[in-house]
A and B are shown apart, each in its own frame.
Chain A
């Protein structure tokens, strides 16, 4: 019954590694997002896809590459991980219509050592 799910929930890795986070939503929404929450709890948009098309790309290093194979999935791949990438990454979805709220996944806590 989970609406927006992410895997894994925790990810601990070494600097320089490549890792992926997967996201799936079963709400029938047409828009999906990745948000980053830093150590001070600040939430910032990274990417958004609407009907598999990239519509928001907010000044994110190109080591981060989102991929949306279909409307229900949005994955995030990170190359050459750096210490500063440590954060909680949230996937979210919404109907693309204005005013609709975002529904968030449980978050993935990424720790880069």
Chain B
């Protein structure tokens, strides 16, 4: 079974600075998908960014980018020019492209990193 580990329960960053959130995962598959979700205090889960394992190029969405290291099974999220609205819980998630019992249909989440943005 795949596991996702976020080793930083909490992080903080000054407004306008850059912060990197770590995520590692364990899988025996060569093809899969990785995601970062954001959960602000409103508790709504919001998709931040998505990465396909077969693509070497790191995904980017505006101020959010990832550093995907497939060999190391690492998928970190970099937030540039941090804003107060970035304060939230961030979850890393893994999705298998195939598998028995419907396992390819679900996301497996890490335990989350709580990001605080200081003004």
> Which A residues form the contact surface with B (CB < 8 A)?
31, 33, 40-45, 48, 50, 55-56, 88, 90, 92, 94, 96, 98-99, 101-104, 106-107, 109
Contact = CB atoms under 8 A, between A and B. Distances in A.
Contacts of A41: 39, 89, 111-112
Interface residues of B, number: 29
A103 B93 CA distance: 13
Contacts, number: 64
Given A104-B44, A107-B44, A33 B106 contact: yes
Interface of B: 33, 35, 37, 39, 42-47, 50, 52, 89, 91, 95-98, 101-109, 111-112
A66 B112 CA distance: 27
Given A40-B111, A42-B111, A101 B47 contact: yes
A33 B102 CA distance: 12
A43 B43 CA distance: 12
Given A45-B106, A99-B52, A90 B45 contact: yes
A55 B43 contact: no
Given A40-B111, A48-B102, A55-B102, 4 more contacts: A41-B89, A48-B106, A55-B101, A104-B44
B105 A31 contact: yes
Given A41-B112, A99-B33, A101-B50, A56 B102 contact: yes
Contacts of A88: 43
6 contacts: A48-B105, A50-B102, A50-B105, A56-B103, A98-B96, A101-B47
A101 B44 contact: no
